[in-house]
Structure 1
Amino acid sequence: MSVPPTPSAPALPTPPSTSSRLRPALEWCAVPARLLLAGVLGYAAVTKIGDPAATVRAVRAYDLLPGWLETLVGRGLPAFELVLALLLLTGVALRLAASVTAGLLVVFLIGIVSAAARGLEIDCGCFGGGGPTEDPAYTAEIVRDSLLLALAVGLAALGTSRLAPRPRAPQPPAATETGSSRTAARRAQAEKARYASALDAHRSRLRLVSLGAAVALLAAPLAAIAVAEATEPAPPVVVPAAATASGGIAVGSASAPRTLVVFEDPQCPYCGELERGESADAIAAAVEAGSVRVEYRLRSFLGDESVRAVAALAAASDEGKFPEFHRALYEHQPEERTGGYTVEDLLEIGRGVGLTGDSFEQAVRSQKYAPWARQVDEQASKDGNTSTPQLRLDGSVVDADTMFDAGALRTLLG
């Protein structure tokens, strides 16, 4: 007598893993994370994209790259950040966008840490501006970028987010019952083959989306570099008669045995402190004694106010009144970035030192030497000047303690 087969117990469903249970919550958490990263990168791009020359100066201030690469990075970075922001905002190719963002933040952190370690005093230039500053905020910048890096790494590891378009993955075929007929087995095999084909097509679509995102990330900065190169303004540069070949204004005898190069920005408060103090008297005395020739290399990284002031200094040099106007300029120095050194301010300062002729007034009003001011600022940046004031005596940098100690400076200048 045959015993009927015992029916098999239905398979118990496999409980979802902890990571599977958490994934929906993590995908919702990914939404504010990617929006925050998109907002930061988008704001950074918008603040820089209209002034690629300023971004180039900001990159150059780190003194880490060769000159040609500094120009390419400065011109292409804002567009690169903008495309990254759009990818994060939409959630397209999220894993790729988050991974690239993480890499970019690592590069930023390396630059900031390197600048701090080398004693440079620069603004990071993350949101426009950049270049030398009297008040670097390295700690805050490192903390900020480290937190953003953690978000980017988390997004890259997760790879998906809610509220983001993504090609729908095919559903796996339903499990077949044990002991099914030969026909059912063939049907199950065909379903598995169709699923494998659909899965391959799904993966191909994902690869195409990632490839498109990668192409956009590459093409955007290249296009920005090409546009910047094609549209870079080339105003006529009128050079003041007293200018040196290196872009300075020389004061003193050409036969003096020593040369002192002074890097200054008319808005720099420490430059004002130097020029209103006894150190300026020590420099003037050395010039008067014929032991030193001074070359003023004028910077204008603090904005249009500085450009106007440098252009006015060049106009004063044409009239033989550079030293007098230079000193008076610092005696009336406005606070940094407050809109000072207006044309009327500069003309009033000029009248105080006897610059009352039409030629000076016309040069100041027309900003005749503004292109030259920007050109020499660019040259000073290329020559490695990263802070103001800076003194270089016969090519050697004078340390800050000596620079602000009139007695020590007088001894050094002989």
Structure 2
Amino acid sequence: MKPTRAGSGKTRPPIRRAAGWLGPVVVIAIVAVLAIIARPSDQPAGPAAAGEQEESPFASLARRTPGDPLALGAPDAPVVVIEYADFQCPFCGKHARETTPRLIRDYVDQGLVRIEWRDLPYLGEESRAAATAARAAAAQGRFWEFHDALYASQRRVNSGALNDAALRDIATRIGLDLTRFDADRAFPGIREAIDRDQREATSMGLTGTPAFSIGDTLIIGAQPYEAFKQAIDEQLDTP
């Protein structure tokens, strides 16, 4: 699946030793990307307008952070689809392979929808390892390529299919700088960001994946594309 992915860029070249001013600039850029990936989610990106009445507790969770590598679509798209998922979840994989490409083609690429990813790695250690690795890929602007590779085929849960060697193999196949990939996986802010996503999901009563909020509508499970289309179209039609 190679849809147009707003907000993701080309792979950065490997970090090399550089003389003079280049080294500090590269370090600053890396820190800035990791800061976006590890951005606290305790508050939405922007406050609601004075007197605005929220229809649902999920409606305030859209972050709309410019440059967020874990999001697809324009920050000001009319509708935000928030996806809570686990990289070992078979139903998340089904959604990623069958429904996400259609949503991107019909809505994200048209500027109507933004998809925001949330980690809910509840199935075990390999789920957390995969979530950490995907965020390390995001630091090189390749989250969605890593996402697609993780979901390309179904794997048995906690079978070793997503161990360290497998994750590094995916990173190699999509062209990541492995030295940087390994270093970013050890960045404490990434683990903290995953924990915040899990707390957010728990606070909303979500205990399984996939789960989606679309404005004031909650969709649980890998529902058919038509269920997402109906929810999105209803939000687009809302004044």
The normalised TM-score by structure 1 is 0.38
Cα distance, 1:253 vs structure 2 = 0.8
- Write 1 or 2 for the structure with the bigger share of helix: 1
**Equivalent residues in 2 for 1:92-103, closer than 5 Å:** none
> How far did residue 384 of structure 1 move?
1.9
> Is the partner of 1:276 in helix, strand or coil?
helix
> Are the counterparts in 2 of residues 308 and 370 from structure 1 also a CA contact under 8 Å?
no
Q: Structure 2 unaligned runs (5+)?
A: 1-32, 43-62, 64-69, 234-239
Between the aligned partners of 1:240 and 1:322, the Cα distance in structure 2 is 15
Residues 265 and 302 of structure 1 are in contact (CA less than 8 Å); yes or no, is this contact kept in structure 2? yes
Match of 1:413 in 2: 232
Residue 411 (structure 1) shift? 5.2
Given that 1:291 and 1:413 are in contact with CA atoms closer than 8 Å, whether structure 2 keeps it comes out as no
Corresponding letter in the other structure for 1:409: F
Task: Please give the per-residue CA displacement for 1:339-380, whole angstroms capped at 9, x wherever unaligned.
Answer: 33112211111222222353123223x365234323322332
**Of residues 307, 324, 348 in structure 1, which corresponds to 2:145?**
324
* SS in structure 1 of the partner of residue 157 of structure 2: coil
Residue type of the alignment partner of 1:281: P
Pick the aligned partner of 1:346 from 164, 167, 170.
Answer: 167
* Mapping of residues 216-255 of structure 1, within 5 Å: 240-243=35-38, 245-246=40-41, 249-255=70-76
Post-superposition offset of 1:336: 1.2
* Per-residue CA distance 1:243-263 (angstroms, 9 max, x = gap): 554278322210101110101
1:106-150 Cα deviation digits (max 9, x unpaired):
xxxxxxxxxxxxxxxxxxxxxxxxxxxxxxxxxxxxxxxxxxxxx
| Counterpart contact for 2:214–2:231, Cα < 8 Å | no
| Shift in alpha-carbon separation, 1:304–1:399, aligned structure 2, 3 A | closer
Determine what percentage of the aligned residue pairs are the same residue: 28
Unaligned runs of 5+ in 1: 1-237
CA distance in 2, matches of 1:244, 1:294: 17
C-alpha distance 399-263 of structure 1, shift in aligned 2 (>3 A): closer
Indicate how the Cα distance of structure 1 residues 240 and 302 shifts in structure 2: closer, same or farther if over 3 A, else same.
farther
> Contact (CA 8 Å) 1:243, 1:250: kept in 2 or not?
no
Which of 83, 89, 100 matches 1:280?
100
Out of 387, 395, 413, the residue aligned to residue 208 of structure 2 is 387
Shift in CA distance, 271/322, structure 1 to aligned 2, threshold 3 Å? same
Structure ID, larger Rg? 1
Which amino acid in 1 is paired with 2:225? A
Question: Which of 164, 181, 184 in structure 2 is aligned with 1:360?
Answer: 181
- Structure scoring higher RCO (CA < 8 A, sep ≥ 6) equals 2
Superposed displacement of residue 387, structure 1: 2.0
What is the CA deviation profile of residues 54-81 of structure 1, one whole-angstrom value per residue up to 9, with x for unaligned ones?
A: xxxxxxxxxxxxxxxxxxxxxxxxxxxx
Q: Supply the distance in 2 between the matched residues of 1:305 and 1:257 (Cα, whole angstroms).
A: 35
Change (3 A) 1:305 1:240: farther
Contact persistence 2:212–2:219 (CA under 8 A) = yes
